[in-house]
Structures are given as C-alpha cells and as structure tokens.
Chains A and B, each alone.
Chain A
C-alpha cells in the first residue's frame, strides 16, 4: 500500500474533492477502495428465475469454478426490476447450504439408519419396484367390465417447484404406465 500522507486524511479529501458532504469517496479507506465485489472474478453470469413463489423474479447467477458464488436480482426483468425478497436474496444458500444433500441415501425396511447406495443401483431398484407395484395393483376393468387400464399401486406428489419440461415427462410416463394418482402443490 502507498504511504499515507496528510492529504489522504478524510477531512482534507472532503475539502479538496468532489465530495463536499463527506458521504462518498472522501471517506472511503484504502482498504475499501481496494475491495472488489465477490462477483468481480466470477467465471460467468447466467440469467435465471427465482425458484420460490410464482411472481417469477429475474435472477443473475454468478458462478466460479463450477460453483454458484452469488445470486442477485436481474434489473432487466420487467417483472421484478432487479428486486428480490428475502428468500430470493438467500437463494445462493439454497445451492450451497451445508445441509445440501449430494449422495443417494437408502433405508431398508425396519432399519434404524440410512445407508449409502450407488445411484445406478438405486435407479435400477426403483425401476423394478415401479414395474412390480404397477402389476400388483393393476386394474384392467371395473366391476361392470368397463376398461380402466390403470394401476393404483403408485402415486406421486410434487411438480410446482420443478420445471414445465419435467412435469411434462412425469405426466407422460405416469399416464402411459396407468399411474393416475399424480398430484402437486396446486391441490393444497
């Protein structure tokens, strides 16, 4: 850091400079001046939308080394004009909270604890269970012989916090499988 002279005293800077009320550059320290925003060395910024309520505020997601480092309101959005509420403003923590789960967890029937499981194994087990439960609770027709072509053995809940494209695939596959008991937050 350069040597500080008396000319750097805030009151002198205030009297000399373009900040006569002493609320801006006149009173910033060298440390403040050398501080950069945490977004300055981001690898990139991505346009996104807040994942909480349905107002749909614009977000800008700053990332570095494959990690989200900051999320801010997008001033371009005609919906939100750059504002975020406390939840939207906290959404960097949604990604990086120390409680974030990144591993598959499995609990056997009657077990008292979780255990680890490979994702590949888990997906295969779920597929097997889907097929078996679908068959076990399959209904070809009702008591009057009218076609039902459905299974009551599988249900799902959720969809309002995920994407339209995801909802589409879930609806498409579950309906084709005859699993009619699909619901989401819109029913609550």
Chain B
C-alpha cells in the first residue's frame, strides 16, 4: 500500500500513531513492511490457508463476536442435506462435473421449503449447534487449517501466525475493529475471488463489517476503475451491476426476476425498476411497456466474452476491429506475445492515448519484429492513432476506490487533434447514425432508436454534466417533470422516470453536481460527507446498520456510527444510514410484501435475499460456497490438504504459446523451480503508458529489474546489478539483478521456496523514454473462473545469469526449456493449455460464465451450471 497507494497510506500511519497495529503479509518486504509493526512473508497463493487458520483459531477458541454473528450473519442457517464438503470429497465440493469442470450449485442451498427460501426465511438453529448449521460446517471445514498446516503451506512460522491471529482477535469486538486492505495480490490468482471471500468470512465472524475502521478495502489501481465497474465497460454487466442478458433470456419479466424477485427481501427486489429506468434512459420515447422498454434490443451473451477470450478470437480471425481507450495490452495483459499476435490478425485498430504506447507500435518495433518472426510488410492491420485529451483538458468524474465520485473541472483546451473520449464516442455515434439513417434493416433499429443528443460546446465537446444528469436520472412526467431524481427510491416502473445507473441516482440531485462539492476537509468532521459524493446516497460505509447492536444502540461509544433514535423514530448518526430510515430495530419485517418491507429490524445486509452477511455463500461463486485451498497450477508443492491439486474450475486456453509447467504434478515441473510474482512500484503506473513517457518518472526508475534473495542469487550465480534471464513456459525476459534481503526464501516442508519479484511496468518498443522486457510476457492466460482474471501472482520459472538471446534464438531458448519439461502438447496432456488435458479446468469451449452482482444475493441457487453448454467465443 505504501508503494502503490502512498497517499492513502498516510491514514495507516495516522492510525498507527493512535495505537493501531499494522501487519503486512506479502512475499516481499516493501515500504509498507518498513512502516508496519511486523512483516510476515508468505508463499504466494496460500492466503486461504493463512486466513483459514485464523478462522479456525477464532472458532475453536470462541473468540468471534457472538452477538454480531448471531444477529447479522447466516451462521444459524441450515444447509441442504445434499451438501458435500471438500473435507469429505477430497478437495471437491458436491455438484462437480468433471466433464465440464463446473459445479451445479443446487446442493449448496439453504434448507427450507421453496416458498420460505424465496422470501429469505431458511431453516435456522439459533443455538448454532445443529451439524448442518453454517457455523458448524465452517468449524469442520477449517478444522485442519492448524498453525502447523499454515507453516507447512505458507512457510509462516507458528509465532508469526500466533501474532497475526491474536492481533485480529484482540482488535475486534465492541470497542475495536480490524480492517483488511488488499489489491491484486488477492485478485490475480486462479482462486483469487475466494481469497477475498476468506477475509469476508473472517471479518463477519469478528463483527468488522459495516463499522468504522472495519471492512475490506480494495485498493484499486486506476483513477476510475471503480467507476468503470459501476458504469461498466465490461462484457458481463450493465450499469449498476445489472447482468447482461444471456441467450435464452427472451422474456423481460423472467430476466428481471432472475436478478431479484418481488417477494425476496431487500433492495434487489426492485431490479425490474432499475432495469426499466436504464432502458428508458437509453431508448427514450422508443422504450415502452409494450415493447418491454426496448429490452429486446439488448445483445445476448453465450458465455464469457472477457478480454482473453477476445484475444483468442482475434487469433482465429474472428474480430475485425479493436478500440483501445487508454489501455496498453501489448504490455499490460497476460501473455503479451498472444496479445500482439492477436492484434496482428485484426483488420483495423483504433488506439486512443496520449503517447505512442507499445500497443500502437507493436507492428514496427514489438518483440516479434525484433525476433524477425514478423515484419511490418506481413501485417495487414490498419492502425488509427487518435490523440486523447488528458484529465486537465476535459471535465468529468472519476469514482475513487471507496465509491466516491469526484468531479474534475476543465483547465485548458486539448492540443491539436486531441479530443476527449466523450467527444470521440459521441461523434462516432453521430456519424454511424447518420450513415444508417435510411436503413430499414431491423438490426439497425437499436442504434437509430437510441437517445443520442447531448449539448455540445463551440469545440464540439459534449457537456459532460448532461451525461452525468442522464446517469442520475430524472422525472419525465407529473409536476416534477424534468427534475433530476434525488434517490433511486424515486424511480418508477411505469416509464415516468429514467436513470442510466440506479446506484448513482442522487449524484445530480436538485440539479446540482454533487460530485463537485468541495467543502474543505478541515472544515468538516472525519466523515467529510460534503466532499464529493459516494454511491449509493452519499453513504460512506456500506451496511452501516451493523455498526449498532440488534437493539439499535452503538456497539460502543468509541465505535458509534449509526444508531436508532427512539424519540425521532428513525435511524441517525454520522453517516447516511444504510437501512430503511424509519424501520424499528424490533420490526419483525413483513415477509408477505417482499423488498425493503420484508427486512426485519436486524437484517443489516439489505442487499442479500435473506438480510444476512454470508459466511457460507449458497450462490454467487462458481467454485464453492466456502474458500478452500488449492495450489496454483504451476506450483511445485503438492496440495497438503487434498489430492485435488488445483482449483478444478480454473480456465485456460489451448494454444502452443499458452503452455504451463506441470508443477508438482509432473516431472517437468522441476525445469521451472522458482516462483515469480509481479507487482507495481511507486514511480510507475501499470503498463507504463502514463509513466514511461514522462522524464521525471523515467529517471526515477529507468530499468526493468528482478528482486532475488542473496540465497537464490548464490544458487544461480547472479551478480549484483548484472543481468538475469527469467524463463517461463511462455517466454524469456531479461532484467537487471537486484539482490536483496527483501526477498525471503521460505521453508515449506522439505523444500526451500524461492520467490522472485518482477515489476511489470516495462515493455519493448522504441517510443517511450525507457523500455525493457515485459513481465507479462512470462504469464499465461490462465483465469479465475469467477472473475475471468488471470493468475499473475503465482507462476513458475527458471533463472539463469546473463542477458537473453536476441533474434530467433529467444524463442529457441523458450522452446528448449519446454522440451526439457515435456510440454510438447500432444505427448503430455496433463499440462494446462495442452490438447486434451484431463481435469485441467474447462477448455475454451465451456468456460463458466461469471455472474456478479445481484445474482450473488439470491439465496436460492438456480441449479444451472453457470454457462456450461455455452460457447465463449
């Protein structure tokens, strides 16, 4: 955090000054470690064992926050008799289909009759003693996650573990809270979503959710990566976490019922309203009740259509055109070689950026040109480079990592041909609509019927506030006609309101750009509610009903945030209450009504179909209702818990350039004996598009390097500040050698595990001030099945002294190691990425479809095997 989010880290230091204990768990010692009370080095990819060990510790020793757990979590809920745990099935949950490597989640369901389950009222045992109660299932599931198991898996000694577990237990409860902060060290694994789930379980057990100083903080890495998830340029969701429709979802009512049913508890019961308001914002007068508000204009998914599936589709000549909006996949995406080869199969490509990034110039100076494998004369891709306006040259909003939307004013006009992406997209839309205006082809109706009329200034720039106003929504009829919505509660299901993203309703309340509010922090209390605007409803801490006890009183004076005011008959406090404002703490809820009315006064988790925080997740995760440990596919360590070595749902792609080491599962694994893990450094930003073209930053960190321990350097024969070549099953790169005790060899069983640190900011090209080999070239397109995010954090390699060869010899070197490891596809089918690999995770024809958002909140499993029979590309 001190490295990649240094300005946010000031608050960790502030907390430490006030007595907070800071523990840093990371394979590397970093600036964060230097400021922590303790650094605990961990073997990459074993976080579930570490946190599972803490879960076991607090359950066995009864250190969890009992009143909180009883009232606000699903600990008392009974699970179906059909449920089978990996502890009994040697590493698999019940419902696994080895043919498709997917789960049918119907056996993970809550117990109870269908009607009660639909209303969020499963069978419960308030004594928490029933063997099928979630608490007892958790206890059994994590029983083997002992300090010894932590040592044998994570390489963390029992004293360090004891320190961590005791610290969390002591800093939780009525008077104190513990917070977890994470970034891509958790997300970029095959099984990464489950690592985050493990901390979610722990935080619920310790009563740290919905409370000040608690929670799980995702430290995100781009200015509006949160906003671009809320208002998504992502394939699988629509604005506000509404899912994109899948093939076969041709009935609008059924589509919205699959998101949230009217009879279910909580705010997803209004999914139909949110969807109607979105469709009405997009298709305006052409969206009517008769045509299901234009729902049938929406394209349908048939599987995962993520960026890596698209790369594979490019390689098969299935994609003609590609737009880049400030992203540099030639350097920043996994398997850079396949990224660049994919682009060489395109018909045309539009790059919008400030600088000549490597994704704009791969056809003339990329690694495949250097090696002689490709020449520009062979590459048919037509390239358009369009200069983009930067953040000072346009007005607009970013949503930062805590859901706070902040507006930027425009300082200057963009230079030359540079334009905002707002103008580019608007202008392109205008041109396409003009060219199609006489079309009678039904497929063009969705474009022609679109609302696409934003006021523009004298330079042709659309008014960004008018777009924000559409996102916010407004009344169309009645005495409020034309007025912006104050909150999503004002949305109607009859077409009399519109709203482009329901969770952002209120950002333009009263016609005022709430994201532009700038009351100085020094003039406000610590909540700083008058700076920017956080979705939803300017609420700064989600689920903050849980900051009060079941009776509505703060858990303690020190940790009070939101409480019930009996006199006023409403919830009040230092944040916007995340609960129906006048619902009493002793309100039993009205299950006949559904929605907010069905919530009881203690159903603090208002988005969940049962009003509870989920220790056990009956739906929402495609690889199990609880996290369980698997080894990374290239790991040279056998899974100490199960015969099942790696996550059985993991996704990979069959390609000779996307092979993996078999790790502990084959003799070839020893050809790649070391672990490498990638990360950011303070002075650079992601793939370097916004840092390697700046003189200051280039001077501060000019060269690609690798961090190795003195022990590994001695073993391999590396010289300080000399060169090393790192070879994986995908590629070989070179880096300057940084020998440092920041890297700790870890003892795991009888094996010493060496981990190598690789920053990923450099790329090969001739336009940036500095260039270097790209770490992402070493990484395969091997994905987590929940998120379709690649595993960048635990992969295997070997390391040799000296620079890599130039020209075709580079590929020959990679090939020689592949041969030694036996990765020839047809002969060694046990290897991920090889033809016909059994149990290697679903092949590219049966990728489970990741459904995020509201469908996670339904406590009733659909029994559908995600997108089992569907094609991903």
Residue numbers of A with Cβ under 8 A of B are: 44, 46-58, 61, 63, 66-68, 71, 75-81, 83-88, 90-91, 93-95, 97, 99-114, 117, 119, 122-133, 136-138, 140, 142, 146-173, 175-188
Contact = CB atoms under 8 A, between A and B. Distances in A.
Given A110-B376, A167-B227, A119 B446 contact: no
B702 to A, nearest CB: 14
B392 A162 contact: no
B422 A54 contact: no
List 9 tightest A-B contacts by C-beta distance, closest first. Answer: A78-B521, A56-B400, A102-B416, A163-B396, A158-B325, A159-B233, A150-B299, A158-B327, A160-B222
A66 B418 CA distance: 14
Given A187-B306, A187-B788, A147 B296 contact: yes
B300 interface: yes
Interface in B339-385: 347-348, 350, 352-356, 360, 363-364, 376-385
A164 B397 contact: yes
Nearest to B332: A188
Contact of B406 (A56, A159, A160): A56
Given A161-B690, A164-B399, A182-B233, A129 B347 contact: yes
Contact of B417 (A55, A85, A102, A164): A102
A184 B233 CA distance: 6
A18 B576 CA distance: 51
B235 A181 contact: yes
Contacts of A146: 247-248, 250, 300
A117 B382 CA distance: 13
A165 B223 contact: no
A132 to B, nearest CB: 8
A46 B250 contact: no
A109 B321 CA distance: 13
B428 interface: yes
B229 interface: yes
Nearest to A127: B431
B231 A164 contact: yes
A170 B231 CA distance: 10
Most chain B CB neighbours (cut-off 10 Å) among A75, A94, A172: A172
Given A93-B695, A103-B417, A160-B224, A165 B396 contact: yes
B400 A79 contact: yes
A166 to B, nearest CB: 4
Contacts of A176: 282, 297, 446-447, 450
A55 B7 contact: yes
A91 B475 CA distance: 40
Most chain B CB neighbours (cut-off 10 Å) among A53, A91, A162, A173: A162
Nearest to A163: B396
Nearest to B425: A169
B307 interface: yes
A86 to B, nearest CB: 5
A183 B401 contact: no
B679 interface: no
Contact of B225 (A54, A78, A173, A183): A54
B400 A55 contact: yes
Nearest to A62: B411
A90 B694 contact: yes
B471 A164 contact: yes
A119 B222 CA distance: 28
Given A86-B697, A107-B363, A166 B425 contact: yes
B145 interface: no
Given A103-B417, A160-B222, A166-B421, A152 B319 contact: yes
B378 A110 contact: yes
B511 interface: no
Interface stretch (B462-470, B615-623, B708-716, B853-861): B462-470
B386 interface: yes
Contact of B428 (A61, A71, A123): A123
B354 A101 contact: yes
Contacts of B410: 46
Interface in B293-352: 296-302, 305-307, 310, 313-314, 318-327, 329, 332-334, 347-348, 350, 352
Contacts of A106: 382-385
Contact of B789 (A114, A182, A188): A188
Contact of B697 (A46, A49, A87): A87
A61 B392 contact: yes
B163 interface: no
B222 A161 contact: yes
A176 B276 CA distance: 15
Contacts of B324: 156-158
Nearest to B683: A86
Contacts of A127: 428, 431-432, 435
B321 A167 contact: no
B121 interface: no
B7 A84 contact: yes
Contacts of B581: none
Nearest to B409: A46
Contacts of B400: 49, 54-56, 79
Contacts of B267: none
B397 to A, nearest CB: 5
Given A101-B385, A168-B231, A131 B422 contact: no
A149 B528 CA distance: 46
A161 to B, nearest CB: 4
Contacts of B464: 163, 165
Most chain B CB neighbours (cut-off 10 Å) among A52, A168, A177, A187: A168
B310 A181 contact: yes
A131 B305 contact: no
Contacts of B322: 154-157
Contacts of A125: 384
B52 interface: no
Nearest to B430: A127
Interface in B661-715: 682-686, 690-691, 693-697, 700
Given A109-B382, A178-B443, A183-B234, 17 more contacts: A52-B223, A54-B224, A86-B700, A99-B769, A100-B415, A104-B385, A104-B387, A130-B321, A152-B313, A154-B320, A154-B321, A156-B323, A163-B398, A165-B422, A167-B227, A168-B239, A183-B307
Contacts of B384: 104-106, 117, 122, 125-126
A75 to B, nearest CB: 8
B398 A188 contact: no
Contacts of B383: 105-107, 114
A174 B320 CA distance: 15
A54 B220 CA distance: 5
Contacts of A84: 7
A112 to B, nearest CB: 5
Contacts of A102: 387, 415-418
B404 interface: yes
Nearest to B525: A78
Most chain B CB neighbours (cut-off 10 Å) among A47, A79, A164, A186: A164
Contacts of A148: 247, 299-300, 302
Given A126-B428, A149-B300, A163-B396, A171 B521 contact: no
A131 B347 CA distance: 13
B343 to A, nearest CB: 11
Contact of B386 (A91, A99, A122, A181): A122
A51 B188 CA distance: 23
B302 A162 contact: no
Nearest to A65: B412
A52 B247 contact: no
B677 to A, nearest CB: 15
Contact of A170 (B398, B425, B427): B425
Contacts of A55: 5, 7-8, 219, 400-401
B15 interface: no
Interface string B197-229: 000000000000000000000011111111111
A77 B521 contact: yes
B244 interface: yes
Interface in B57-106: none
Given A123-B431, A164-B471, A155 B321 contact: yes
